[in-house]
Amino acid sequence: MTSIYDQFKMDLPNIMLNLEQFYMVTHINNNGSITYTNKKFLQTSKWTPKRVLGKTFWQMFPDTEEGQNKAHAIWSDLENGHPWSGTAEKITRYGDPYFVNLTAIPIIHSSTILNSVFLFEQDITEAIILRDQLQEVAFFDYETGLMSRHNLETTVNELIEKKEHFKLVYLQIDRFYKLIDVHSRESRVEIIKSFASRLKRFFQNSQIARISVDEFVIITQFGDWFIEGFVDFLNQHPIYSDHTALPLSISGGITRYPEDQGSYKHLLQAAFLAMKQVSKKGGGKIESLSSDFHKTLNRKSMIDEKLPNALTNNKLQVVYQPQFDCKSGKATLYEALIRWHDQELGEITPDELIPIAENNGLIHEIGAFVLNDAAQLAAQFKTAGHPIKIAVNTSVREFSNPQLKDKIMDILQAASCPPSSIQLEITEKFAFKAEEEHSVSAQMNELQKEGIQFTLDDFGTGYASFRYMQSLPISKIKIDKFFITSITTHKQTQKLVEGIIQFAKSMELSVIAEGVETEEQLTLLKEMGVDAVQGYYTGIPVTANQIEMT
Ligand code: C2E
Ligand code: CA
Ligand code: CA
């Protein structure tokens, strides 16, 4: 029997042929599975026919809320028998984004069943990049006539220079993509234009900017109660689409200058965080952050600002905590831990510092600094004839550098430190990423071949830990201090730790317990058969100078 699609092809062979010359073409069946793609599609998307056929339509869109919402919006139009046409971001086989003008046409069989869909796409990536670049430097948002992001920054900086008091309000339309999904025939642009006109009417004499598809910033002198009133105003002045009021709600955050934050970057960041808090609670409100929150935020920004200087001026320090072998009772390894004391900020713990450094990219410098210090100490041990190793903590962000392996080897060589004297500690979060990203596990394997061993730190705090033992080159696990704390008081924890030790042994992994604070814990752990222990009871972190080399 001739299928609808065959019929269509028979009727329109020339049209199809012509289309295929100029457009990327994909066919999808009623389950959303890809059944055909032409050469043009394969070229742009970097897929091979073998790999792409049978993949779903949704897998061609970015795995972000925005990307998937767009895919669902298109699909829901098609299911309702409507064609869809618009701009869409898609991803290549390697996850790189590209932009297309997309026309999706449903073919309806027996008036209800969707038989096949054709997607005609035109690659407009270059045009989009150009538009975004223009948008970046442009003064106004071309859809709404509101200020652009670039203009907003200039405006705020001018106000700060003049020392004027003002409020920065960050607004986001709640679940915007779901909203336009339901009302897909009303153009997104029209909804945004109506929303912008509500903003202009309410926040008269204020400066308003559009900073992304569904995000807006208002610079205003109005009081908090007035700003918060925009939520009610929006309810009283709804935006209509097809004669029905859209259930439009917003989340918003307010920051004050100069009381809360002192720079454009920090004002925007704080207002964004306040908005996110509201949004997480379900949205529909505009709120300010508590003064405690601002204090934490200010401390974070100060750490962020002072860190580059502290690194160049050698203000960071490395301390070493011994690990004792249970059989010999000797310190066989020291773990390197970063320390930073700042006159103004006081003690900055690694738990505070590392996430900030991961964010601003300085984690690479910190990693190199600690490894260099550790390599010097390890080389000293070697020269003094001690078979003592040094463990260094690594963040997965450091492994985003594809040259990390070479960098590590260079540092060790310069310090005359044999790679076998160094162990790297990774967390389960790290292991999860390493499994996902081939380049991370490949570098780990290369480092292991050079003689560097890996330890899985904080064991038991993540999930699915057992899997990593098979796919990654891990030779040791470190049971998290959370379990050790209650090992003598909770029978359940004791059983769990016993289980972990047995599991490690059966996998021929060595097992260490960290956070050992009492003699009872130490005795019990020894009885259970751990290979080594680390903790305040057996030895606190000390500077390299305090370690005896005799
Ligand atoms: P971690 O790797 O689990 O390090 C052990 C932490 O427990 C250290 O805290 C150590 O001082 C502390 N500790 C040691 N013995 C005991 C004990 O008996 N009881 C208790 N309650 N705690 C104990 P620290 O130095 O504050 O480090 C915190 C975390 O920061 C580390 O956890 C590690 O994940 C990270 N970190 C530290 N230095 C570095 C570094 O140079 N690079 C990276 N990427 N991360 C680091
Ligand atoms: Ca560690
Ligand atoms: Ca740990």
Cβ of residue 394 lying under 6 Å from some atom of ligand 1: yes
> How many of the other CB atoms lie within 10 Å of CB of 486?
15
Decide: 416 in ligand 1 pocket, CB within 6 A.
no
Rounded to 5 degrees, φ, ψ at 83 are -70, 160
CA dihedral 329, 334, 338, 339 (to 10 degrees): 50
CB of 354 shorter than 6 A to ligand 1: yes
For ligand 3, the distance from its centroid to the CA atom of residue 274, given in whole angstroms, is 32
Residue of the nearest CA to atom 37 in ligand 1? 337
- In short, whether 393's Cβ falls inside 6 Å of ligand 1 is yes
Q: Which secondary structure element, helix H or strand E, spans residue 319, and what is its range? A: strand 316-325
d(CA 60, CA 78): 16
Map tokens 């059944």 to a residue: 35
Please enumerate in sequence order all residues whose Cβ is within 8 A of that of 505, keeping only pairs 6 or more positions apart, or say none. 511, 529
**How far is C-alpha 452 from the geometric centre of its chain's CA atoms?**
28
299 contacts 345 by C-beta, under 8 angstroms: yes
Instruction: Give Cα separations from 323 to 379, 526, 541 (angstroms).
Output: 18, 14, 10
Say what angle helices 363-383 and 350-360 make with each other, to 10 degrees.
120
532-534 and 510-514: which strand pairing?
parallel
Take atom 19 of ligand 1 and give the residue whose Cα is closest.
515
Ligand 1 proximity of 482 Cβ (cutoff 6 Å)? no
- Cα dihedral 412, 417, 419, 425 sign: negative
Q: For residues 99 and 103, give the distance between their C-alpha atoms in angstroms, rounded to a whole number.
A: 13
Q: Is 337 in the pocket of ligand 1 (CB under 6 A)?
A: yes
Specify the DSSP class assigned to residue 140. B
Given a cut of 70, the residues of the chain with pLDDT beneath it are 1-18, 108-118, 130-138, 181-187, 463-465, 550
Helix axes 4-11, 13-22, angle to 10 degrees: 90
- CA nearest to 532, candidates 336, 333, 334, 324: 324
395 Cβ closer than 6 Å to some ligand 1 atom = yes
HEC assignment per residue over 31-63 = CCEEEEECHHHHHHHCCCHHHHCCCEHHHHCCC
* The predicted structure's pLDDT at residue 429: 83
Residue 60 contacts residue 54 (beta carbons within 8 Å): no
What six digits make up the tokens of 384?
A: 């003094």
Q: What is the best residue among 324, 333, 337 to mutate for testing ligand 1's pocket, by most ligand atoms within 8 Å of CB?
A: 337
Burial pattern 120-129, b for ≥16 Cβ within 10 A else e, equals: bbebbeeebe
C-alpha R_g of the chain = 30
- Atom index in ligand 1 nearest the CA of residue 319 equals 25
Q: Relative to the CA of 427, which ligand 1 atom is closest? A: 34
Q: Identify the bridge partners of residue 168 per DSSP, sorted by sequence position.
A: 219, 255
pLDDT at 134: 61
pLDDT of residue 7: 53
Give residue 393 CA to ligand 2 midpoint distance, Å: 5
Instruction: Give the pLDDT confidence score for residue 245 in this predicted structure.
Output: 83
Angle in degrees, CA 408, 409, 415, rounded to 5: 95
Which atom of ligand 1 has the smallest separation from the CA of 516?
Answer: 18
Residue whose CA lies nearest to ligand 1 atom number 4 = 337
If you measure from the C-alpha of residue 338 to the centroid of ligand 3, how many angstroms do you get, rounded to a whole number?
Answer: 13
Neighbours of 373 (CB within 10 A): 22
Q: Any idea which residue has 């080399």 for tokens?
A: 549
Nearest atom within ligand 1 for CA of residue 370: 41
Q: Would you state the pLDDT for residue 5?
A: 46
For a mutational test of ligand 1's pocket, the pick from 311, 393, 423, i.e. the residue with the most ligand atoms closer than 8 A to its C-beta, is: 393
The reply to whether ligand 1 has any atom less than 6 angstroms from the CB of 322 is no
Determine if ligand 1 sits within 6 Å of the CB of residue 481. Answer: yes
